[in-house]
Amino acid sequence: MSTTKTPPSLRVEDVDISRMRPVGRRPGLFSYVRQLWGRRHFVWADSRARAFTGTKDTVLGRFWLVGRPLLDGLTFYLIFGLLLGVSRGIENYVGFLLIGVFLFGWSSQSLNGGANVLSSGKNLIRGFAFPRAAIPLSLALRETMSMGPRLLVMVAMILVIPPHAQVSVYWLIFPLVLVLQGLFNVGVVLYAARLTHAVPDLRLVLGFFSRLWLYGSGVMYSIDRFVEHPTVLAIAQLNPVYCVLEISRDLLLYARMPDLTLWMTLLAWAVATPLLGFLYFWQGEEEYGRE
Amino acid sequence: MSDLAQDTPDTTSAPADVPVGDPTVSVRRLSVHYRVPSGEDDGSGQAPGRLRRRLGMTGTVTVRAVDDVSFVARAGEAIGVVGQNGSGKSTLLRVIAGLETATHGDVLATSTPMFLGVNAALMPELSGLQNVRLGLLAMGRTPAEADEIVPDVLHVAGIGNAVHRPMKTYSSGMGARLRFAIAASARPEILLIDEALATGDAASKERSEERMAQIRQQAGTIFLVSHAAQTIEEMCTRAIWLHDGELVLDGPAEETARAYRWWAWNVAKGEHEIAADVLERCRARLRATLVRHEDQTGRHIARHST
C-alpha cells in the first residue's frame, strides 16, 4: 500500500474509506427511529428488570409504591385540610386530594427519574451501542407500569372513603386523560435527561422546581379560588398537570364534562412535548457516553 | 531488537496466525486534549484566577491525553496498546469506541466498535443471567435469539452458579469475564478491550483467547489495552506503545512489548538515563504513518477528469 516516493521514516497508508464511517456519529433521524424500534425488546426488558428496584432494600418493598403517595396525601390532608382549612368549599376534599397526589406523582417522578436516568444507565451506555433514547423511554415505560397498582389504590380509595365518589359514565373517558398525561411524561423524561446531562447543576435546582410545580398544579387546593390576578391564573391554567388534575376530578368526582380549553391545552402538551423532546434528545446523542 | 529485550525469557506463545486483511479502523492525526480542573497555580497570579478559586471554581489546565496519533488497523489483527498509567491508552480506546470526541483528527471504522471498559458491573442489582439477557437485547437481539445465545455466553464466561447472584457480589474478574462473554457473543467486527482480561484465571483465559481468535478469523480486529506487556505479547499480533499521549512505537507485538518492558524495568530500577535512551531509540525506529483517505468511487472520477 505504501508508495516509494516517501522518506523511509514515513509509512504512507492509503485507506479506502468507501466502507468506513466516522465513529460515534449520531445516525439520521429516520435510521435512529428504526434502530430504536429494533431495541423495543430491550426497552421492555430493561423497564421490567428495573421496576421496583428503588424499593428493593426496604422492609415493606413494593408497598411503598402506594405507601409514599398515601403518606403525601395524609400530610397534605392534615396541613391543608384540617389546619389551614383550604378544603372549605371543595366538594369531597379527600377525593380531590387523592387524585391530585397520585396523578401529580406520576409526572413529578418522571421528571426526577429523567434527571438521573442517564447517570444510572451509564454502564449500559458505555458497554453497548444502541440508540440512547432507549434508556429514557424505558424509564417512562417503568413509571407507567408502576402507575397501574397506584391507580387501582386511588380508585378504590375514592370509592370507599366517604363521601363516596359515584361511578358515572364519565369514568369511561378517564383512560384518555391517562394516555395524554403518559405522552406528556415521555417528553418530560427526554427533556430532563438531556438537560441534566448537559448542565448537571440543574439536578440541584430540581427540588425547587418540583415544589413550584406541585403548588402551581393545585394538588391540595383549588387554584381558581386563590389566584385572583387574571394573567397569573391564565399562566397557571396552561400547566399541563393542572389540566390533568382538573379534568380527572371533573370526570371521577363531580360527574361532569370538563372544560374544552382544558382538553385542548392538555392535548397540545401531550403531542408537542414528546415529539420535541425526542428531537432534542436525539440531537445530543453523541454526548451521552462521555464521562 | 534483542538488545532491548535482555530481561525477557522466550517462553510466550504467539497468538494464532490469521492472515491480515483490509483496513477496519483508520486513526488519522488524532489528538485529544482535556481541560481539567487543577489546583496547580498557572503562575500568572492574576486576580480573576484567584477570585475564581475563592469562589470554588478551580482553574483548569490542558492535558494532552492523546497527541497526534496515526495508525491503520486491519482485519485479523489483534493490536495491543501498552504504556504506563495515564499515558492515554484508555482515552485512545474510548475515542475509537465513539464514546469520546477527538479534539483534532478523525477516526473512521467499518462498523461500530464494541467497547469493554474497566467497570465490571452493568446493572449491579440484577443477577448475572439477567445482565446477560439485557446486554444481548441492548445489542439488538430478539428475546428468542437471546435465549438461544445465553448458554453459549455462560459457557465462555465460566462463572458457574454465580450467574444467579446479583452482579454487585461479583469479583472484578468474574464481572470482566461475563462482560467479555456478552460482547464476544455479538461477533463484533471491532472489539476494544480495556484491561478486562488481565484478571482471568488460566481456564477462563484460554476460553477468552479462543473466542478472540475466532473473532479475528472472521475478519475482525481486536484492540487490547494493558500495562502488562506479558498479556500483550501472548494475545496480540501487533502492539503500539503510547507514552504521555505520544505514539512511541508501532510494530509486531513481541518487539513493542519487549521494548516497553525493558523501558519499564529501567524506570522501576531508577535507571532513568537508560530508560530515556530506550524511548529515544524507539522513537527513532518508529516509521510515522501518514494516513491518506481515498474513496474508490471518488478516485475513479478524479482519474478521468485529470
DSSP state for residue A290 in the 8-state scheme: -
The mean-pLDDT minimum among B4-18, B201-215, B232-246 falls in: B4-18
Question: How far is Cα A205 from Cα B201, in angstroms, rounded to an integer?
Answer: 48
Give B137's contacts in chain A (Cβ within 8 Å). 39, 41-42, 45-46
Mean residue pLDDT of chain B comes to 81
Q: Using one digit for the tens of pLDDT, what is the confidence trace for B169-198?
A: 988 778 888 888 888 888 888 999 887 665
CB contact under 8 A, B291 and A13: yes
**How sure is the predictor about B199, in pLDDT bands with cuts at 50, 70 and 90?**
low
Check residue B299 and give its pLDDT.
44
Find the closest chain A residue to B129 by CA distance. A49
| Structural domain boundaries in chain B | 30-66, 67-305
Check residue B196 and give its pLDDT.
60
Dihedral sign, CA of A177, A180, A186, A192? negative
CB contact under 8 A, B125 and A56: yes
CB contact under 8 A, B294 and A127: no
Of B106, B122, B287, the CB nearest to A124: B122
Check residue B14 and give its pLDDT.
57
Residue B168 has pLDDT above 50, yes or no: yes
Does residue A18 lie within any of the structural domains? no
Which of B92, B116, B131, B137 should we substitute to test contact with A (largest number of A Cβ atoms within 10 Å)? B137
A169-A170-A173 Cα angle (round to 5): 115
Of A53, A127, A291, the CB nearest to B125: A53
Domain with residues B67-305, CATH architecture:
3-Layer(aba) Sandwich (3.40)
Does residue A101 lie within any of the structural domains? yes
Q: Using one digit for the tens of pLDDT, what is the confidence trace for B57-96?
A: 666 788 888 999 999 999 999 999 998 888 888 889 989 9
A240-A197-A265 Cα angle (round to 5): 10
Taking the model in full, what pTM does it have?
0.83
Check residue A105 and give its pLDDT.
92
Give B139's contacts in chain A (Cβ within 8 Å). 128-130
A169 to chain B nearest CA, in Å? 41
Could you say which residues of chain A have pLDDT below 70?
1-9, 52-56, 291
Query: Are A13 and B291 within 8 A, CB to CB?
Result: yes
Question: How far is Cα B223 from Cα B243, in angstroms, rounded to an integer?
Answer: 17
CB contact under 8 A, B119 and A126: yes
Query: CA–CA distance from A48 to each of A45, A51, A118, A144, A216 (Å)?
Result: 5, 5, 17, 11, 32
CB contact under 8 A, B140 and A38: yes
Nearest Cα to Cα of residue B216 among B43, B20, B5: B20
**How sure is the predictor about B6, in pLDDT bands with cuts at 50, 70 and 90?**
very low
Give B100's contacts in chain A (Cβ within 8 Å). 24, 289-291
- How many domains does one find in chain A? 1
Check residue A2 and give its pLDDT.
42
Give A53's contacts in chain B (Cβ within 8 Å). 125
Q: How many CB pairs under 8 A join A and B?
A: 149
Grid cell of A290 as nine digits: 462521555
Does residue A71 lie within any of the structural domains? yes
Check residue B9 and give its pLDDT.
41
Does residue A272 lie within any of the structural domains? yes
B292 to chain A nearest CA, in Å? 5
Find the closest chain B residue to A12 by CA distance. B290
CB contact under 8 A, A46 and B134: yes
Identity (one letter) of the amino acid at A77?
Y
Give B95's contacts in chain A (Cβ within 8 Å). 23
B115 to chain A nearest CA, in Å? 6
A140 to chain B nearest CA, in Å? 17
Query: Are A270 and A180 within 8 A, CB to CB?
Result: yes
CA A98 to chain centre: 19
Check residue B44 and give its pLDDT.
52
Dihedral sign, CA of A38, A41, A47, A53? negative
Grid cell of A157 as nine digits: 380509595
Q: Using one digit for the tens of pLDDT, what is the confidence trace for B101-117?
A: 888 888 999 988 888 87
Place of cell 387574571: A230
Query: Are B94 and B100 within 8 A, CB to CB?
Result: yes
CB contact under 8 A, A24 and B183: no
Query: CA–CA distance from B44 to each of A159, B48, B50 (Å)?
Result: 72, 10, 10
CB contact under 8 A, B295 and A127: no
DSSP state for residue B127 in the 8-state scheme: B
A26 to chain B nearest CA, in Å? 10
Check residue B4 and give its pLDDT.
45
CB contact under 8 A, B290 and A18: no
Check residue B15 and give its pLDDT.
67
Question: How far is Cα B260 from Cα A45, in angstroms, rounded to an integer?
Answer: 45
Query: Are B261 and B117 within 8 A, CB to CB?
Result: no
Query: Are B251 and A11 within 8 A, CB to CB?
Result: no
Q: Using one digit for the tens of pLDDT, what is the confidence trace for A199-212?
A: 989 999 999 999 99
Name the residue range of residue A120's domain: 29-287
CB contact under 8 A, A289 and B96: no
Check residue A85 and give its pLDDT.
78
Place of cell 464521562: A291
Which of B115, B287, B294 should we substitute to test contact with A (largest number of A Cβ atoms within 10 Å)? B287
- Kindly give the residue spans of alpha helices, DSSP state H, lying in chain B: 47-54, 89-96, 128-138, 143-157, 172-185, 202-217, 229-235, 253-268, 272-285, 296-305
Interface pTM, i.e. ipTM:
0.83
Give A290's contacts in chain B (Cβ within 8 Å). 99-101
CB contact under 8 A, B121 and A45: no
Check residue B305 and give its pLDDT.
34
Cis peptide before A163 (omega within 30 of 0): yes
CB contact under 8 A, A49 and B134: yes
Find the closest chain B residue to A135 by CA distance. B138
Of A9, A11, A22, the CB nearest to B107: A22
B282 to chain A nearest CA, in Å? 12
Does residue A199 lie within any of the structural domains? yes
CB contact under 8 A, B106 and A22: yes
List residues bridging with B79 in a β-sheet: B223, B238
B83 to chain A nearest CA, in Å? 22
Q: Using one digit for the tens of pLDDT, what is the confidence trace for B29-55?
A: 999 888 777 766 555 555 566 666 666
Which of A41, A43, A125 should we substitute to test contact with B (largest number of B Cβ atoms within 10 Å)? A41
Does residue A21 lie within any of the structural domains? no
Of B114, B123, B294, the CB nearest to A17: B294
DSSP state for residue A55 in the 8-state scheme: G
Place of cell 443477577: B127
Find the closest chain A residue to B192 by CA distance. A127
